[in-house]
Chain A
Amino acid sequence: MQDKVLEINHMKKRFGDLTVLEDISLSVKKGEVVSVIGPSGSGKSTLLRCATMLEWMDGGELIYLGERAAYEENGKCVYASKTELKKIHKHFGLVFQNFNLFPHYTVLKNIIDAPVSVDKVPKQEAKERAITLLKQLGLENKMDCYPHQLSGGQQQRVSIARALALQPQILFFDEPTSALDPELTGEVLKVIRELAKQHMTMIIVTHEMQFARELSDRIIFMEQGIIQQQGTPEEIFTAPNARVKEFIGKFAG
């Protein structure tokens, strides 16, 4: 049971009349790297936003490390109490497409402020943790910079450090390189690759097919709010079903 970090059962999400997530079930084991691919509007980002509780789902079940964040009862989605959700929140981190760093904080403060003011980690300890992370990500000399002084790739690496500083059990990436030019994409992908080597559990929504292929343990192809196909990169890229083949073909172009 405990080796399942995340379990999603029959997740549904509507925006008004539009059903964005039809019925999504998926579970992620500790240390697993799962990539989610699919065309725009397929519900990939909504899946991530529901899993991280930035959006409330309309039905289904959401479980982190055996703790139930939401379940369905009489056709309605019921969320756990505020205190329980707060605890569950600590299990995951999210890296946004456009970083969302806090512009008025230095790089260091961006990373240590949540551990210090949310998790009550002693400041010195949080600082040491942050510096270790920054060294890992090759940013130790940017500690006192403000986000606007950094390149997009550096900003994204800082935002990864910010998420990691809270020591989550699973890290979500919402198209982490889509706001970056190709030159800067590499440095961010390299960091994610490093994390995979350290067996960080990750779910990555991405358009980087080659990257997904080499890095993932499992790839999920989503379209129209359902999982069309999932499997190892091998299965997806060598034996795709007709629709997946068409999609991947466009990238291979």
Chain B
Amino acid sequence: MNTTTMLQILGSGMLKTAAIFFLTMVFSLPLGLFFSFGRMSGNVVIRTIAKFYISVMRGTPLMLQMIVVYFAPYYVFGLRIPAGYRFVAVILSFVLNYAAYYAEIYRSGIESIPKGQYEAAEVLGYSKIQTFVKIILPQVVKRILPPVTNEMITLVKDTSLAFVLTEVEMFTAAKQIAAKETSILPLMAAGLFYYLFNLVVAAVMEHVEKRLNYYK
């Protein structure tokens, strides 16, 4: 195998890693907010379901969840699993798993906003939705940035789990080349890539945090 081929394989693995990362972020962040509402709901049924969901998602391996999501259409609905479903199943299981973690992060942020903010908004006549969107959420976002950054960095590394559903992301590509070439170099290159990816994630998030430093 020549260097160009190796780089090509690694490069396409890289793209897949980036795709899993961005798609998971785009869908799990809003879904997490939705779950956090369920978790804080006044309705005991909704609250219990959300709490159970979060505890299962946090309490079982993501790898297992991926397998369940992949085989569910067949075992639960008796459907034939289409070929293109593997990548969808990867994204779906990542989104469902990460949304559970984000739900708890949102909850901690929302519950840390002083009651006085709600009361001030209420007396000024803001509706419930206006209060949340204009007054509460912006302050929540500022408070939860550090834990969200943590989750994002974990996600970058978790993308390597996609191999479970035989999706060749970066780490799997590197492992295959390493095996073929009996060299550890491709794995080191992959490690470097993860590190650089996370440096960028951390730098971007730090920038966002700084941008929100105008108030306390």
Using a CB–CB distance below 8 Å, which chain A residues touch chain B? 52, 54, 86, 89-90, 92-94, 96, 98, 100-104, 113-114, 117-119, 146-148, 159, 162-163, 166
Q: Which residue of A lies closest to B120 (CB)?
A: A100
Q: A103-B216, A148-B215 are in contact. Are A114 and B125 (CB under 8 A)?
A: yes
20 intermolecular pairs with C-beta atoms under 8 Å apart = A54-B123, A90-B125, A96-B116, A96-B119, A96-B120, A98-B116, A100-B119, A101-B120, A102-B135, A103-B139, A103-B216, A104-B138, A104-B142, A114-B125, A117-B130, A118-B124, A118-B126, A146-B214, A146-B215, A148-B216
B119 closest partner in A (C-beta): A54
The reply to whether A104 and B117 contact each other, CB–CB distance below 8 Å, is no
Write the residues of chain B forming the contact surface with A, with a CB cutoff of 8 angstroms. 114, 116-117, 119-120, 122-127, 130, 134-135, 138-139, 142, 214-216
Q: Which residues of A contact B116 (CB under 8 A)?
A: 96, 98, 100
| Whole-angstrom CA separation of A204 from B123 in the bound complex | 16
How close is B7's CB to chain A, nearest CB, in angstroms? 46
Other-chain contact of A117, B119, B122, B126, B214 (Cβ < 8 Å): B126
Give chain A residues whose Cβ lies under 8 Å from the Cβ of B215: 103-104, 146-148
Q: Report the Cα distance A94→B126, complex, angstroms.
A: 14
CB distance from A9 to the nearest CB of B (A): 22
Inside 8 A of A92's CB, which chain B residues have their CB? 123
A-B contacts counted at CB < 8 A amount to: 56
Which chain A residues border B120 with CB–CB below 8 Å? 96, 100-102, 159
CA distance A117 to B127 in the complex (A): 10
Considering the complex, give the chain B residue whose CB is closest to the CB of A148: B216
Task: Report yes or no: B123 in contact with A117, Cβ–Cβ below 8 A.
Answer: no
Bound CA–CA A104/B141 (angstroms): 11
Docked-complex contact B122 and A54, CB < 8 angstroms: yes
Q: Which residues of A contact B138 (CB under 8 A)?
A: 104
With a cutoff of 8 Å between Cβ atoms, the chain B residues found around residue A159 in the complex are: 120
Known contacts A102-B135, A117-B130: A86-B119 contact under CB 8 Å: no
Expressed in whole angstroms, the minimum distance between the Cβ of B95 and any Cβ of chain A is 29
Tell whether, in the assembled complex, residue A119 and residue B125 are in contact, meaning their CB atoms are under 8 Å apart: yes
A113/B134 contact (C-beta < 8 A), A102-B117, A148-B215, A148-B216 known: yes
- Across the two chains, which residue of chain B brings its CB closest to A147? B215
In the assembly, what is the distance between CA of A147 and CA of B123, in Å? 19
When chains A and B are docked, how far (Å) is the Cα of A96 from the Cα of B215? 21
Which one of B114, B117, B125, B139 contacts A89 once the chains associate, using CB atoms below 8 Å? Answer: B125
> Contacts A102-B135, A104-B215: A114 and B117 contacting too (C-beta < 8 A)?
no
Q: Complex formed: what's the CA distance from A135 to B135 in Å?
A: 26
Q: Which residues of A contact B127 (CB under 8 A)?
A: 118
User: How far, in whole Å, are A184 and B52 apart by their CA atoms in the complex?
Assistant: 51
* Inter-chain contact B123/A93, CB cutoff 8 Å: yes
Do A118 and B125 form a contact, CB below 8 Å, given A100-B116, A100-B117?
Answer: yes
Residues on B with beta carbons closer than 8 Å to the beta carbon of A100: 114, 116-117, 119-120
Given A103-B139, A117-B134, A148-B216, check contact A86 B125 (CB 8 Å).
yes
A90-B123 Cα distance, complex, nearest whole Å: 9
Residues of A within 8 A of B126 (CB): 114, 117-118
Whether B130 lies near A118 (C-beta < 8 A) is: yes
Chain A residue with the shortest CB-CB distance to B135: A102
Q: Would B139 and A104 count as touching, CB distance under 8 A? A: yes
Say how far B5's CB is from chain A's closest CB, in angstroms. Answer: 52
A90 shortest CB reach to chain B, Å? 7
Q: Which residues of B contact A146 (CB under 8 A)?
A: 214-216
Separation in Å of the A214 CB from the closest CB of chain B?
28
A52 touches B123 (CB 8 A): yes
Q: Which residues of A contact B123 (CB under 8 A)?
A: 52, 54, 89, 92-94, 163
Cα distance A96–B114 when bound, in Å? 13
In the assembled complex, the Cα of A102 lies from the Cα of B124 at a distance in Å of: 12
Residues of A within 8 A of B119 (CB): 54, 96, 100
**B142 closest partner in A (C-beta):** A104
Residue of A nearest to B130 (CB): A117
Nearest chain B CB to A151's CB is how many angstroms away? 14
A119 to B130, CA, bound (A): 13
Complex interface: chain A residues within 8 A of B134 (CB):
113, 117
